[in-house]
Structure 1
Amino acid sequence: MSVASRSDPVAVELARRIVSFEVDRISEQAIESSRLAILDTVGVTLAGVNEASVRKLMAAIGVSGESGPASILGTRLRATLLDAAMVNSTASHALDYDDFSQPMGGHQSVPLVCSLLALAEQEARSGLDLIRAYVIGIETEIRVARSVNFHHYDKGWHPTATIGIFGTVAACGYLLSLSQAQMATALAIATSMASGIKANFGTMVKPLHVGQCARNGLLAVLLAREGFDANTTAFEHKQGFFNVFNGTGNFNPDRIFEDWADPLEVLGEQMGLKQFPSCGSAIPAVTMMLQLRKEEAFSLEDVQAIEILLHKRRLVHTDDPDPGTPMAAKFSAQYAVCRALVSQAVRIADFEGDAFHDPEVRAMMARSTTRAHPDMADDSPNQFGAEVRVTLVNGTVLSRKVDNLPGRGIHYPMTPAELWDKYSDCAQVSLPSACVKASFDRLLGLEKLRDIRELTALLRP
């Protein structure tokens, strides 16, 4: 179907798919994949809640009390649904340590998890309810992404927010059992609330995009439930989402509906968890440097030059030879790769305080160059490839290359020990040790929880 021949508006057809979603299509593997993504997102939220961006946001909107239907994770604070969704979702992206997806061109879980947790906490819903809503949210946002990417991404929009909002609407609307008409209206409302530009990457505004996305998506759902109206042709209208955000000829709505949920997007191999707290675009190169450092015998004094080769699309926001803040360091491929070389690890602490000024790392950065890999085509389906080359003073060139590594996912899963290492490292920032272990165990059995409040009670120190 094309825009011209479609009998129903895009929002109406999409709403039909969402509200009629057959939950028995969610396999055990899909449940496991979703559970791990939710666990990972909760962990990075607990790590991010004390970041300056989150503290300043809470001060600005007046979140300071212990009453309200929803928890501010990692604190004793409570707030309204909308404020909790905004604060927690900002925290979930504050460290840029959350999972990411190639088709989406961004981070698939953070637009969904914290808004769903707030809603499920208020409504006393089960863990399985939350997982089902998450699956539907992922399906929706990545299908919309397929209809507009990569023109949308290259133009400068931040897809985590501009596309993620439709996942928020689908997930939260499904959890609240919106009717088809209400869901279509909520999606149409969301077209006017989608926002976020990549010019603000490397600043506090980037995680705020996610908080705003989660709040706005949930607000769109609540408005639709109250009978608010909107133009359900807001996607395909001549001044609607597709034409305004992408421009004529740069989108294909048919891709939203082709083979809908077959297979489920949540089982896609082009998405994965982050093992390191830096921009996902740099992670393949970080992984290759760690591999090279582990497998080759050389000292830092032996290093004459370092070459970092990434897919062209990954370089636009990671080619930063001199990051000036801890947040900017997360978006510097040079810093992340040279930190891996020097420390043989990349941890949260490496992006805190003055760590990015480490003289040993800076010395390696001064010897590094970054460029697009000549063997990685612009239109390749695999756009998370990387190669690192280290030239030693004796002329020896050591290298490691990976063709595609979009995080740790189905094709390359994190071990139970790696999952625990990341979660505990993150959660201990704001929770006592007893709550860290107990919440981890609850999350591992999320689909068995009858009431999500059994989990959220453990996420408040």
Structure 2
Amino acid sequence: MATEALATWTTNLTFTTLPPDVKTAAIRSFYNWAGCTVGGSAHPATSIARKALSRFSGPPTSRLLGSEGSVDVDAMHAALFNGIASHVHDYDDTHLDTIIHPTGPVASALLAVAESLERIVSGEEFITALVAGVEAECKVGLGVWPDHYDVGWHITSSTGSIGAAVAVSKLLSLSTTQTAHAIGLAATQVTGLREMFGSHTKSFHPGRAAQNGLLAAILASEDYTSSTIGLEAKRGWANVVSTSNQLDAQINSLAPNGRWEIAQNAFKPFPCGIVVHPIIDGCVLVHEELTRMGLSVDQIVEVQAEVHPLVLELTGKKTPKDGLEGKFSVYHGGAVGLLFGKATPAQYEDRIVTDPQVVDIRDRIQATIDEKLRADECHITVLFKKEDGEHVTIEKHVDHAVGSLERPMTDAQLVEKFVDQCIPVLGQERTEKASQWCWDLEKHQDVRQIKTVL
């Protein structure tokens, strides 16, 4: 029985059983999540949600990361708001086999409840619970991939509530039976439709998943019941949200029987749909060669990009109207790579998406499907016309995009990403302290001290 097996595995997991690379992966995942959450804290999707729901908040216990001054809200709303902020720039981590962004729902719920408890939560306890949650959501995601995603579910949130429930159950030391009930309570709160991509609601999904998972575990802690076969039953989660599933096999492959999924986590160098990353990577290389050759992007005649089929399915918006839609436009990603030689949240602001020069370059890009390409691979051909009328062609083949498991982001690159997002919000000194605090997560005796830096 998948639900019982997952609950049993969760209650038996200990920090000492985590391999060193898994602990490192958890710290890197938390570090990346914290930077993304601070970076997204002032986005309209986050601020509108906070404004709309502020009058419904309970006694303040939990920190809103990146907020000006010391701003706390109740744990349920902290999980929601931090979850929204963590995902709104599409800059968060990615489990590449399922394209789940796993840390957002789990860490947002986990930190919110850890801060609300009267007892101290150590960094080791926090990491153990974080790993439990990420493993749970990725394993159930693998169990229904790809049918679940193909039919239209946003897999980050539809699995994220389960991951958040498992993580909080672990932190609260719930029994195996209580954890099984929490999983069922989370599974019945299925959240997230792909139709919402390109709007504020996309980032609402992981926030709501964090909130749903937290709610599930809190109810279960008081012996609120659900089905104890909520994942695998005939009318349970897996069979309702997918036309086929391998749920039992995936749950049975929980480490140490199988691999640790958190060790497969990748981090985004660009704040957009991950299938666009090879194109941006290639266009940045073209930009660098243009600079060496003394050519201008204005001399581009056309750009041909050969891409994996998912690129046009997920990011085929030719004329995005704002920054959120720009994240789902391979054409915008290519244009900013060519024009700026980079793609950070600044290149996805509304004013950049509608800038006439960006639009002009975007209109010169054509993308075609090549079934033989992997999802992290692309081929780009750029035709230029020099001032003397001579035509010049530059070709770039990206075998594995930066940020893939084959070309992972280094710690130094993660720091650069963290600092780039946090300094505008926190300032230089506070950002440096926050960065070090997050790297030292395992060493902290009381994770509630995060309030002093973030």
Tell me if TM exceeds 0.5.
yes
Question: Which residue of 2 is the match for residue 59 of structure 1?
Answer: 51
Once the two structures are superposed, the pairs formed by residues 354-433 of structure 1 within 5 Å of their partners are 354-376=351-373, 382-393=374-385, 394-405=390-401, 408=403, 411-433=406-428
Question: Which residue of 2 is the match for residue 110 of structure 1?
Answer: 104
Question: Which residue of 2 is the match for residue 444 of structure 1?
Answer: 439
Establish whether residue 82 from structure 1 lines up as the match of residue 76 from structure 2.
yes
Kindly tell me: are residues 416 and 139 of structure 1, through their superposed partners in 2, closer, same or farther at Cα, counting changes over 3 Å?
A: closer
Moved more, 208-217 or 14-23: 14-23
Contact 1:63/1:83, CA 8 A, preserved across alignment: no
Select 2:138's aligned residue among 124, 137, 142.
142
1:389 CA displacement: 2.0
Establish whether residue 70 from structure 1 lines up as the match of residue 62 from structure 2.
yes
1:198 CA displacement: 0.4
Establish whether residue 330 from structure 1 lines up as the match of residue 327 from structure 2.
yes
Moved more, 96-105 or 339-348: 96-105
1:416 CA displacement: 4.1
The letter of the residue matching 1:38 is F
The letter of the residue matching 2:441 is L
Q: What is the CA–CA distance in structure 1 between the aligned matches of 2:94 and 2:164, rounded to whole Å?
A: 16
Establish whether residue 94 from structure 1 lines up as the match of residue 118 from structure 2.
no
Does the residue aligned with 1:237 lie in a helix, a strand or coil?
Answer: coil
Select 1:155's aligned residue among 111, 133, 151.
151
For normalisation by structure 2, the TM-score amounts to 0.92
Q: What is the CA–CA distance in structure 2 between the aligned matches of 1:418 and 1:293, rounded to whole Å?
A: 20
Q: What is the CA–CA distance in structure 2 between the aligned matches of 1:316 and 1:68, rounded to whole Å?
A: 42
1:259 CA displacement: 3.1
Does the residue aligned with 1:62 lie in a helix, a strand or coil?
Answer: helix
Unmatched 5+ stretches in structure 2: none
Does the residue aligned with 1:391 lie in a helix, a strand or coil?
Answer: strand
Q: What is the CA–CA distance in structure 1 between the aligned matches of 2:91 and 2:448, rounded to whole Å?
A: 25
Establish whether residue 15 from structure 1 lines up as the match of residue 14 from structure 2.
no
The letter of the residue matching 1:436 is T
Question: Which residue of 2 is the match for residue 28 of structure 1?
Answer: 20
Question: Which residue of 2 is the match for residue 458 of structure 1?
Answer: 453
Kindly tell me: are residues 45 and 284 of structure 1, through their superposed partners in 2, closer, same or farther at Cα, counting changes over 3 Å?
A: same
Moved more, 191-200 or 16-25: 16-25
Moved more, 339-348 or 304-313: 304-313
Does the residue aligned with 2:140 lie in a helix, a strand or coil?
Answer: helix
1:63 CA displacement: 5.8
Q: What is the CA–CA distance in structure 2 between the aligned matches of 1:222 and 1:252, rounded to whole Å?
A: 29
1:138 CA displacement: 1.5
Higher helix share: 2
Q: What is the CA–CA distance in structure 1 between the aligned matches of 2:209 and 2:198, rounded to whole Å?
A: 18
Kindly tell me: are residues 103 and 416 of structure 1, through their superposed partners in 2, closer, same or farther at Cα, counting changes over 3 Å?
A: closer
1:90 CA displacement: 0.6
Contact 1:104/1:141, CA 8 A, preserved across alignment: no
Q: What is the CA–CA distance in structure 1 between the aligned matches of 2:58 and 2:225, rounded to whole Å?
A: 34
The letter of the residue matching 1:424 is V
Establish whether residue 42 from structure 1 lines up as the match of residue 38 from structure 2.
no
Question: Which residue of 2 is the match for residue 339 of structure 1?
Answer: 336
Moved more, 310-319 or 142-151: 310-319
Establish whether residue 319 from structure 1 lines up as the match of residue 316 from structure 2.
yes
Question: Which residue of 2 is the match for residue 306 of structure 1?
Answer: 303
The letter of the residue matching 2:330 is A
Establish whether residue 188 from structure 1 lines up as the match of residue 184 from structure 2.
yes
Contact 2:82/2:207, CA 8 A, preserved across alignment: yes
Structure 1, residues 160-206: CA drift from partner, whole Å, max 9, x if none?
00012211111111111111000111111111102101000000000
Q: What is the CA–CA distance in structure 1 between the aligned matches of 2:104 and 2:306, rounded to whole Å?
A: 28
1:310 CA displacement: 2.3
Q: What is the CA–CA distance in structure 2 between the aligned matches of 1:165 and 1:390, rounded to whole Å?
A: 44
1:395 CA displacement: 4.8
The letter of the residue matching 2:369 is A
Q: What is the CA–CA distance in structure 2 between the aligned matches of 1:341 and 1:226, rounded to whole Å?
A: 56
| Identity percentage of aligned residues | 26
Kindly tell me: are residues 256 and 450 of structure 1, through their superposed partners in 2, closer, same or farther at Cα, counting changes over 3 Å?
A: same
1:371 CA displacement: 2.3
Kindly tell me: are residues 65 and 180 of structure 1, through their superposed partners in 2, closer, same or farther at Cα, counting changes over 3 Å?
A: closer
Contact 1:306/1:389, CA 8 A, preserved across alignment: yes
Establish whether residue 171 from structure 1 lines up as the match of residue 167 from structure 2.
yes
